[in-house]
Structure 1
Amino acid sequence: MSDNDGKKTLGLRGGSNSGNVKQSFSHGRTKNVVVETKRKRVVVPKPGAAKPTTGGASPVAGDPSKRPAGITDAELERRMKALALAKAREAEEAAQREADEKAREEERDRRRAEAEAKEREEREREEALKAREEEERKRKEAEEKARVAEAAAAAAPKAAPAKPAAPVARKANDADTEDRGASGPRKVDRDRDAGRAERVVKAKPGRGDDGRRAGKLTLNDALAGGEGGRQRSMAAMKRKQERARQKAMGGQQEREKIVRDVQVPEAITVAELANRMAERVADVVKSLMQNGIMATQNQTIDADTAELIVEEFGHRVQRVSDADVEQAIDQVEDKAEDLQSRPPVITIMGHVDHGKTSLLDAIRQANVVSGEAGGITQHIGAYQVTTESGAVLSFLDTPGHAAFTSMRARGAQVTDIVVLVVAADDAVMPQTVEAINHAKAAKVPMIVAINKCDKPDANPQKVRTDLLQHEVVVEEMGGDVQTVEVSAKTRLGLDNLLEAIALQAEILELKANPDRSASGAVIEAQLDVGRGPVATVLVQNGTLKRGDIFVVGEQWGKVRALINDKGDRVDEAGPSVPVEVLGLNGTPEAGDVLNVVDTEAQAREIADYRAHSAREKRAAAGAATTLDQLMAKAKADQNVSELPILVKADVQGSAEAIVQAMEKIGNDEVRVRVLHYGVGAITETDIGLAEASGAPVIGFNVRANASARNTANQKGVEIRYYSVIYDLVDDIKAAASGLLSAEIRENFIGYASIKEVFKVSNVGKVAGCLVTEGVARRSAGVRLLRDNVVIHEGTLKTLKRFKDEVKEVISGQECGMAFENYDDIRPGDVIEIFEREEIERSL
């Protein structure tokens, strides 16, 4: 019976709750099911009445006789309340379950609707794509037939009339008719009936059977083709679209090959070569394999192989060398109109203690001598002086000690004028001669300053005469070398000296271009604890500015600060200006050339190339060329004792001077070997190297840091500090002398002639001798001479006078002598008696 008849289904009243549940099956089928939930009957006992329970008679609250034994009214009431609460809780849970089920059903309906809508949308898009593909195919066929007809018409004789296009159109219609023939459905309809997997592949958005795009290419469309696998880049999708367009327009046209100029260095990786040719790495590897070379993209090939590959790919080869990185340094010739006058660079040279620094102090009105250890200059100082007339002069002060030869040579190379300081009371000395030779080698004009003219025993004329021996002809003797008599102590003749310098500078016409990239020479370099590597640079060309990127020797950097000779920071330094440069990545060598470049990459590349070249040169110089030379060197080293040392100095020039002085110490038996030298404080690394080599550490104007001191104390490494190079050289020479073997000197103390030979039992042959000269001692050494030829050398076994053993026998007395382990003695032989003495040697 239905609900429409107004009747209800048969059931217990109030005994159950009914509801509809919608079940979902596959393929979109659903079914409504009526579900009934049976409710439990809750019996609440009334006061004074008995209600049956499932377990039999239940106790009644008002009738204690019908209750179970021991149940009070309060207990019964508590139990009834608990039962009511349990029933209420069950009702709430049932309502919650029903609400959850209803929500899940609504969610399933929503998802089902979305899936149906999506499927419907995919079917519509698929049909639209099929229709568009069919139209595109027909258009292509029509264009192809029209193109064939045009080609045929062009090939026909000119007199022949052009064929009408109607047959072409008719053929196109016939082709269309074939597709739409009554014999069966169209091809597009047959395709639509293919399997589901094929439809899914063809239904990808924006793709057709021929791979062409539909509509505008977007990033999402480009990435959509890579779902579930490798995704294509946007560029790859565009290339594919372009290929499809080319194909539709009548076949893919071959792109014109771009011929490139490929720079080929001495060694290059396969990947880098492919990159320079703009070719695929796989193609280059394939070409190498075809030439019998198995190489991966990260392997290096030589220039000849690379040139062969480049020519195979049709490019032009440009062979370059690693040294071409040096071309980044600007070597442009300056134009005459760009040149401006610059201050002269004057180097003060001469023998030690002839007053060079004192003379410069008098000119500068400063006191540099007091700051130098031992009162001698051990660094190259660079200063600028402004004279009373307003002229600016750049002075370089060089050491005069014999150890500082390289410093003097470096000063002569970067200078315009050399002021040779000669003491009037000492005349020409060895370092004076050396300074003259440096000035001549550098082809620099010279001015002789005859110093200490205030002394009573001064003899300037003797200085002028001595200079003639070294081909220095002064003006007073008809030459062209100016001489000025000065006194640094009394400031005598300083004006005349400055006037002579100004005159010489005017003759030289010194000019430079301040507007180009700066270049200069490193006068001195040091490692400062607080400021890092610091180089004293004399700018020779251009203007060095703060922030400039430069390369100097094997180091590079960016100018962080410029400090002039007065200790003030400046923003730029022009030609002939000495400045301290901060901002290097390492300590350069004194004498290196500083050049400003455009970029950090260029500076780093040039510095790396120079460092690599220097390492190769050092390796080549240290390697023996043949096995014979190696064996000879090893044999020679066995006979030579070495004193190994480590040298750390405050500046590069001092370290060089110490190393050169150490190389001069020694002879064929002993020599000093400098294991390592550098600038800066003594570190723990230096102590470790010294311990491994058993060498002392020499610190020149530097000290060891705390960790180095502790390590040296633990490992027993000796650290010696010096501030004067005299003391250092003397101590090392004394230490090296200790390695020399002592000299053995023989002193002849007597002669004896054998008069007779006796045979004594238990002793052997005994010579009866007469001491003819000196004394015969028992402890001395003896030689047996026969006809002035030494036939035996040894010691005496016995020395007797009469029957007594004696220590010595003087001249004119007779004695008996027996040799140790030797009996071939004859009358007339002469015995030579001598003593050996060890004498210590020194270098």
Structure 2
Amino acid sequence: MSDSDGKKTLGLKGARPGNVKQSFSHGRTKNVVVETKRKRVVVPKPGAAKGGAAGQASKPAKGDPSKRPAGISDAEMERRMKALAAAKAREEEEAQQRAEEEKAREEERQRRREDAERKEREEREREEALKAKAEEEERQKRETEEAAKRAAAAAAAPAEEPAAQRAAKQPAKPAAPERKAERERDDRGRGAKGRGGDGARRAGKLTLNQALSGGEGGRQLSMAAMKRKQERARQKAMGGSVEREKIVRDVQIPETIVVSELANRMAERVADVVKSLMQMGMMVTQNQTIDADTAELIVEEFGHKAVRVSDADVEDVIKTEDDNEEDLQPRPPVITVMGHVDHGKTSILDAIRNAKVVSGEAGGITQHIGAYQVTTDQGAVLTFLDTPGHAAFTSMRSRGAQVTDIVVLVVAADDAVMPQTVEAINHAKAAGVPMIVAINKCDLPAADPNKVRTDLLQHEVIVEQMSGEVQDVEVSAHTGQGLDELLEAIALQAEILELKANPNRAAEGAVIEAQLDVGRGPVATVLVQRGTLHQGDIFVVGEQWGKVRALINDKGERVKEAGPSVPVEVLGLNGTPEAGDVLNVVDTEAQAREIAEYRESAAKEKRAAAGAATTLEQLMAKAKEDENVTELPIVVKADVQGSAEAIVQAMEKIGNEEVRVRVLHSGVGAITESDIGLAEASGAPVFGFNVRANAPARTAANQKGVEIRYYSVIYDLVDDVKAAASGLLSAEIRENFIGYAQIKEVFKVSGVGKVAGCLVTEGVARRSAGVRLLRDDVVIHEGTLKTLKRFKDEVPEVQSGQECGMAFENYDDIRPNDVIEIFEREEVERQLD
């Protein structure tokens, strides 16, 4: 193609030229020459119009070869037509979908534009409101200052000034219209001032509505702020500020105190205290801690009186004074049932309560301390503590004796006095409480109550039938024999003791048992000793504190309060206390939290001091001891605190100077993933006592290969740990002497060295055995044989009465008449006692 000038241009073959007008920004346009491709017109072949009358003009007939390309069958043509229809349907569907998406996008864009416009409108209105508010406040402030200046100038005018001078100073009165306009301006000014400044001062007394209104659109002021504002305006009007009298306070200073807390106790501004500290050269913030000496200097600088207190003074809020005699009222006695394991303690209590308690204990062994109240036929109320009898629960039983008034010592008539019976006697004597002996199982054929009474004499327990003062009753928990007599004996003993307590004071009690309940959280079984514990009381117990959320008695019923000698379950603790902790009711949560934190920090310091060696010699001795001792680490989780503590104490008794059991962690509640992590890091097994591992813990244990063992009877747990610890003991090497030989002659053999010609005098000489060389019955060498020959042949052994040749490994100092001792070693496995 060529243009009008005759130049050739690049174009499309068979195309025709055309003009297109392009539009640009700012109204610019440009004409562009384009070329358009001509459409190809397909002329049908002759005969193509045939069959058109049948209505097939739009699509070719299948059998008409003129309607389709050559070489395509009917089936292929039909398939192509179907594909074409499907493609058209797909295109229509896609076009519809694109249209819907475009519509949705357009709606979203519209919504965003509306949101942006609304936000912009709200922001503009907010800015206008803030600007108007600021202008209003500025105007009110300016008018208040002007009013205060006028009031101060009026008050400062001397009263003694002669009237003539005042008249001379005063300007000439304006005309009547001018005076009227001035009054209107003053009225408008006073109305605009409304609140605050001179207008507020002149408005009379401050009312509650005026104080709460605070200003239109402004911040509401408190009553105290309004009074301070009026006081400042009054002082300004009187011609100067009057300093308020300084209030001197007694400021308590502990060993360390936070700067902001010190300022709070002095009622001074924190910024002033920080500034004073910086002037002393201490760059501190309000959240930093300073020592007591620095705090005392600051207190004296601000004009207050410093009172030094120690951290332990936080416990002074616990009222420990004795009760007045007139305030005391009779209370039920607390009876502790003690005795050897399986002597029938729980069965006797069970028969008294008419409830099957023992059936719920694994193996018939009481695992926890239970507390129950029983009412006798005579109406007397008795509180029973059932302590476990197993030796591992010694500490729990001792705590039971500390809170008790009377001890019932249960001894089986067919078994007599046993080791735990003696321990129970010692605990009762240490607690200084009277004892009643209940000789149980008197219905058995092998029962011998007199043997029990005789055995008790060895431990200085003299019963009444032996002319002593200790009551003894023959009972049978199985048949109910003697139970009424036992209750009468308890009631008589309680009457002699004249037990009294003051119920009208802050409660004080002892934790008998504590556990972590899944649904209720930490739960403590508390025996109230003095005062009355109410629902809602704030208390501190050991290192924990809480607020009584609910009280549940021994029958499982909710109660509102619990008096002296009443056992209840307490809910609402922030953590699980230890059995034996003392519960005290305090006034506020702040006091309870402070006491608990102090006790926790003191316990941590005590544990750290106990575990730390103080001198170099102690460090070296501890390192040497740890090097020589093999440890078996374990992790223990139990259902209640008392069981966990008892298991730990039992573990500490297992071992000797070579092997010991180390409890890495003991706690209450289910076995968790953190327990598995601790066990895996230390290579320790996890022992669960009446608890199970949760699902994440089980998964982690399977992945990390940590062994979890479950127990419900403490015997089995102790035995398994003892067996595992025994496996860590080094095997005992035992020597068996198998023969003796005497050296007759010593020969020198080239390549071998000195060879002893020996006669086996006793037993047998073996090549594989160990040998010792004795000279004048003194061991001078111990080793092994290099050779054992008989008639120039190497032999494994030589019998007694035969001659042989022997040579020692790396030893040549042998002489005639020396004796050779022949022995074998064997390893014997050891067991812990």
TM-score w.r.t. structure 2 length?
A: 0.75
Contact 1:515 1:542 (C-alpha < 8 Å) held by counterparts: yes
Q: What is the aligned partner in structure 1 of residue 551 from structure 2?
A: 562
Q: Give the SS at the match of 1:666.
A: coil
**Cα distance change on mapping 1:135 and 1:532 into 2, 3 Å:** closer
Specify every segment of 5 or more residues in structure 2 that has no aligned partner in the other structure, as ranges.
1-134, 173-188, 202-209
For residues 194-215 of structure 1, the C-alpha deviation after alignment (integer angstroms, 9 at most, x for no partner) is xxxxxxxxx99999xxxx9442
- 3-state SS of the aligned residue for 1:374? helix
Shift of 1:319: 2.5
Distance 1:126 1:504 in 2: 88
Q: Distance in 2 between matches of 1:647 and 1:695?
A: 10
Counterpart position of 1:283: 272
Q: Matched residues in 2 for 1:133 and 1:630: separation?
A: 80
What SS is found at the alignment partner of 2:605? Answer: helix
CA distance in 2, matches of 1:220, 1:361: 68
1:736 to 714, 725, 742: 725
Residue 783 of structure 1: SS of its match in structure 2? strand
User: How far does residue 442 in structure 1 lie from its aligned partner after superposition?
Assistant: 0.8
What residue is the counterpart of 1:140 in the other structure?
A: 156
Deviations, residues 151-210 of structure 1 (Å, cap 9, x unaligned): xxxxxxxxxxxxxx64xx555566x38x99xxxxxxxxxxxxxxxxxxxxxx99999xxx
| Counterpart code for 2:744 | K
Contact persistence 1:223–1:233 (CA under 8 A)? no
Residue 387 of structure 1 is matched in structure 2 by: 376
Structure 1 pair 237–389 and aligned structure 2 pair: CA distance change class (3 A): closer
Taking a change above 3 Å as real, the CA distance of residues 484 and 755 of structure 1, as seen in their structure-2 partners, is: same
Identity %: 81
1: CA distance, partners of 2:655 / 2:774: 39
How far 1:741 sits from its partner (Å)?
0.7
Aligned to 1:215: 199
* Cα gap change, 1:531 to 1:807, in 2 (>3 Å): same
| Residue 419 of structure 2 corresponds to residue 430 of structure 1 | yes
SS in 2 for 1:216: helix
What displacement does 1:129 show? 10
Change (3 A) 1:797 1:288: same
Q: CA deviation digits over 1:106-128, x for unaligned, max 9?
A: xxxxxxxxxxxxx9xx99x9999
1:497 aligned onto 2:486: yes
- In the alignment, the residues of structure 1 paired with residue 335 and residue 152 of structure 2 have an alpha-carbon distance, to the nearest angstrom, of 89
Give the match for residue 660 of structure 2.
671
Matched position secondary structure for 2:734: strand
1:436–1:222: structure 2 CA closer, same or farther, 3 Å change rule? closer
Moved more, 330-339 or 579-588: 330-339
**2-structure distance, mates of 1:136, 1:372:** 89
- Aligned-pair CA distance for 1:437: 0.9
Q: Which residue of the other structure, out of 751, 756, 761, is the alignment partner of 1:762?
A: 751
Any residues of structure 2 matched to 1:526-545 within 5 Å, and which? 526-545=515-534
For 2:659 and 2:612, the matched residues in 1 are separated by 22
Distance 1:833 1:327 in 2: 77
Q: State the distance in 2 between where 1:206 and 1:835 align.
A: 118
CA distance, structure 1, for counterparts of residue 624 and residue 731 of structure 2: 22
**Is the CA contact (8 Å cut-off) linking 1:644 and 1:694 kept in structure 2?**
yes
Output the CA distance in 1 between the equivalents of 2:823 and 2:461: 58
SS in 2 for 1:142: coil
Identify the match of residue 835 of structure 1 among 798, 821, 824: 824
Whether 1:310 and 2:334 are equivalent positions in the alignment is no
Question: Kindly tell me: are residues 489 and 237 of structure 1, through their superposed partners in 2, closer, same or farther at Cα, counting changes over 3 Å?
Answer: closer
Q: 1:364 to 1:813 in 2, by over 3 A?
A: same
Q: Does 1:651 align with 2:643?
A: no
Greater shift in the superposed pair: 563-572 or 816-825: 563-572
* Corresponding residue SS for 1:298: coil
Map of 1:444 onto structure 2: 433
Indicate whether 1:299 and 2:299 are aligned: no
Q: Tell whether the 8 Å contact from 2:144 to 2:198 is kept in structure 1 after alignment.
A: no
Residue 724 (structure 1) aligned with residue 713 (structure 2): yes
Q: Give the alignment partner of residue 394 of structure 2, picking from 380, 398, 405.
A: 405
Contact kept? 1:222, 1:234, Cα under 8 Å: no
Question: 1:759: how far off?
Answer: 2.0
Contact 2:520 2:571 in 1 (8 A): yes
Deviation at 1:685, TM superposition (A): 1.2
Identify the match of residue 621 of structure 2 among 617, 632, 635.
Answer: 632
Question: Which residue in the other structure is 1:525 paired with?
Answer: 514
* Number of equivalences: 669
For residues 242 and 515 of structure 1, what CA distance do their matches in structure 2 show? 48
Separation of aligned partners in 1, 2:603 and 2:150: 74
Amino acid paired to 1:794: G
Query: What is the CA deviation profile of residues 652-706 of structure 1, one whole-angstrom value per residue up to 9, with x for unaligned ones?
Result: 1111110000000011111000000011111111111111110000011111112
* Counterpart contact for 1:262–1:315, Cα < 8 Å: yes
In the TM superposition, residue 583 of structure 1 has moved relative to its aligned partner by 2.4
Counterpart residue number, 1:199: none
Deviation per CA, 1:385-419, whole angstroms, max 9, x where unpaired?
12222221111111111101011101101111000
Q: Is residue 772–residue 821 contact of structure 2 (8 Å, CA) maintained in 1?
A: yes
Q: How does 1:85-124 map to 2 (within 5 A)?
A: none
Please give the residue correspondences for 1:194-343 in structure 2 after superposition, counting only pairs within 5 Å. 213-216=197-200, 242=231, 245-246=234-235, 248-343=237-332
Give, as a single letter, the amino acid of the residue that structure 1 aligns with 2:657. D
Q: Closer, same or farther in 2 for the Cα pair 1:784/1:709, shift >3 Å?
A: same
Structure number with greater Rg is 1
Do the aligned partners of 1:551 and 1:607 also contact (CA within 8 Å) in 2? yes
TM-score w.r.t. the length of structure 1 is: 0.74
Separation in structure 1 between the aligned mates of residue 820 and residue 497 of structure 2, nearest angstrom:
81
Q: 1:245 to 1:647 in 2, by over 3 A?
A: same
Q: How does 1:71-82 map to 2 (within 5 A)?
A: none
Amino acid aligned to 2:350: D
Residue 621 (1) aligns with residue 620 (2): no
After TM superposition, give the deviation of residue 232 of structure 1 in Å: 12
Letter in 1 for 2:200: K
Distance in 2, matches of 1:557 and 1:681, equals: 22
Cα-to-partner distance string for 1:774-796 (whole Å, 9 max, x where unaligned)? 11011101111222222221111
Residues 1:575 and 2:591 are matched in the alignment: no
Q: Retained in 2: the 8 A contact 1:142–1:172?
A: no
Other structure's SS at 1:426 match: coil
Write out per-residue CA displacement over residues 749-790 of structure 1, whole angstroms, 9 at most, x where no aligned residue.
Answer: 111111111222332221110011111011101111222222
**CA distances 1:609-660 after superposition (whole Å, capped 9, x unpaired):** 2222222222222222233322321221011100000001111111111000
Q: Using the alignment, how far apart are the partners of 1:417 and 1:486 within structure 2?
A: 18
Rounded to whole Å, the distance in 2 between the matches of 1:357 and 1:548 is 33
Q: Tell me whether 545-554 or 783-792 shows the greater mean CA deviation.
A: 545-554
Q: Is the contact made by 1:546 and 1:562 (CA closer than 8 Å) also made in structure 2?
A: yes
Deviation of 1:271 after TM superposition, in Å, equals: 2.3
1:3-52 Cα offsets, whole Å, 9 max, x none, are xxxxxxxxxxxxxxxxxxxxxxxxxxxxxxxxxxxxxxxxxxxxxxxxxx
Q: Contact (CA 8 Å) 2:749, 2:755: kept in 1 or not?
A: yes
Aligned position for 1:515: 504
Indicate the SS of the match to 1:658.
helix
Query: What is the Cα deviation at residue 233 of structure 1?
Result: 11
Q: Quick check: 1:802 aligned with 2:794?
A: no
Change (3 A) 1:582 1:137: closer
Amino acid at match of 1:525: A
Q: Distance in 2 between matches of 1:565 and 1:280?
A: 54
Does the 8 Å contact 1:355/1:451 carry over to 2?
yes
Hey, what's the Cα distance between the residues in 1 that align with 2:568 and 2:419?
32
Alpha-carbon shift at residue 711 of structure 1 (Å): 1.2
SS in 2 for 1:490: coil
